[in-house]
Structure 1
């Protein structure tokens, strides 16, 4: 325990403690400012949020769509606003919030047709978090599970079509991860562990771009272990399916140099790449929130309260809150 014996030192100690307290408070992150509550017509709030969306001002859009929910919780506009918040959070790379919004919509309106989009956007949020094969692939597995869920639930929709394309990309990513680990084991001399990884690629990800190299690595590994028949078998599979691939040309040379010349001549032209292309994200391909034919509440929603007198439109000088004459692409009822 600190004991201050000199009375002249006490004021200095108090001042020092106050300074530390102020510094500690200053180090804390400031809370996000919230819109001051002011009752406004739902059309005005939503139109302002849609205007911000068109201008790609995602944080401001989230604020106004949140106000739609807070001030008009039982309207179809509020239901729509949840999806708009999810999309705005997605566009601003705030994937955790976007997933939470999508889950909230699914929980509140599981039977609504727009639930398909909520499932889709949730899957895309995981997809956007996929990183290069040298890092942890937890998000990749979550993306694959959610994309498959979209295809299973809504097989004949545009969401399923896009999900299938993304599933192919995710599988290629997972195969790339297995190849990275397999090459590492091969360099370390752990040939059996490497073989298990390469066989996993051939068995589970045979339609990906990594299959030719995986077959070549199996030829290489089996020759190292002296398992000639296994090497010949994998070389034959590689030559039959990918006779024009540079990896088969390498396997052909390797087998021929070992006195195991394959029957199929390679037809490869050019050189194989030394590095795997990095995973690419393209948000421009993401489907926008759907429009609705007419403002009809979903059957699963709670009945709205008795209609109240419409609130008087507040007078404001803020130009952002004036509804636009043109129809925004984010308007709910296109």
Structure 2
């Protein structure tokens, strides 16, 4: 009787083991599918909703995600994505909330729940807004989402509620630009400072910081000897904020050099300002 070579025996054992593993893998996959689809989508949705009502937001989010994975083509699956985002937000898990809401906006833009998804993203970033002397990445992202709500979904309740948050975000960003601009001024880096104050005048005209920005521009331009821009900054400041202390200081600075406010139509300040009429100014009242 011929003896089976050792390498053949080893090969046969490996083959048999591989087959066993393959069969085991199939059984495991089948079991997983069975578990995922054990409940109909309407029941999973009702269970997740019940968890939400009980305040079990983390568990509800996971249940909504299970529904989406198990029945991705069901009527309940689409709404489950945005509700998972909302549940994660309520649970304080903002990265998960943002990820789920962003997935919804990519997959289902323009649908009924799209405003809610953008609102969740905006709220998650808005809650993370830092003070003006810290990084403003979250503020910028919140503002982007709030503006999307206003532009794309103006009739939604979330868009109507966005106005105050937009004002807060813009004020925070303007304050941050002022912080950096004042730092550059103290370092006598006037060009860098001008760029920061210019951002406030160009992008955040409706904030309270624009008055100081125009005054600081006056100081920077005077330091650089660019008097026509300094005169324009004071003219715009005086026309729009005649009672401002910043105007009084800026006017006095011009006077100390024998100058007066005078608007130049070629100035970027004139072009950036919203509907600035032509005018001539005397001294502050």
Indicate the TM-score class for this superposition, using the shorter chain for normalisation. Answer: 0.5 to 0.7
**How far apart are the structure 1 equivalents of 2:59 and 2:151?**
35
- Does 1:238 find its partner at 2:237? yes
Counterpart contact for 1:240–1:264, Cα < 8 Å: no
- Does 1:192 find its partner at 2:191? yes
Q: In structure 2, list runs of 5 or more residues that go unmatched.
A: 1-34, 262-281
Aligned partner of 1:62 in structure 2 is 61
Q: In structure 1, list runs of 5 or more residues that go unmatched.
A: 1-35, 267-334
Q: Of the two structures, which has the highest relative contact order with CA contacts closer than 8 Å and spacing of 6 or more?
A: 1
Aligned partner of 2:137 in structure 1 is 138
Distance 1:187 1:71, change over 3 A: same
- Pairing of 1:44-83 with structure 2 (within 5 A): 45-70=44-69, 72-83=71-82
State the shift of 1:213 in Å.
Answer: 0.5
Aligned partner of 1:203 in structure 2 is 202
Distance 1:115 1:229, change over 3 A: closer
Aligned residues: 231
Counterpart contact for 1:116–1:154, Cα < 8 Å: yes
**How far apart are the structure 1 equivalents of 2:150 and 2:110?**
17
State the shift of 1:215 in Å.
Answer: 0.5
**How far apart are the structure 1 equivalents of 2:86 and 2:214?**
42
Q: Give a deviation string over 1:158-208, Cα, whole Å, max 9, x none.
A: 333334543333333332222122111100011222122212321222222
Q: Give a deviation string over 1:245-295, Cα, whole Å, max 9, x none.
A: 2322332444445554662425xxxxxxxxxxxxxxxxxxxxxxxxxxxxx
State the shift of 1:149 in Å.
Answer: 3.0
Q: Give a deviation string over 1:71-96, Cα, whole Å, max 9, x none.
A: 55444333322221101212233222
Distance 1:60 1:176, change over 3 A: same
Larger radius of gyration: 2
State the shift of 1:234 in Å.
Answer: 1.5
Q: TM-score, normalization: structure 1?
A: 0.59
Counterpart contact for 1:235–1:248, Cα < 8 Å: yes
- Does 1:212 find its partner at 2:211? yes
**How far apart are the structure 2 equivalents of 1:120 and 1:80?**
15
Distance 1:251 1:108, change over 3 A: closer
State the shift of 1:226 in Å.
Answer: 3.8
**How far apart are the structure 2 equivalents of 1:192 and 1:73?**
55
- Does 1:179 find its partner at 2:178? yes
State the shift of 1:102 in Å.
Answer: 1.6
> How big is the alpha-carbon RMSD for the aligned residues of Structure 1 and Structure 2?
3.1
Distance 1:237 1:112, change over 3 A: closer
**How far apart are the structure 1 equivalents of 2:231 and 2:50?**
64
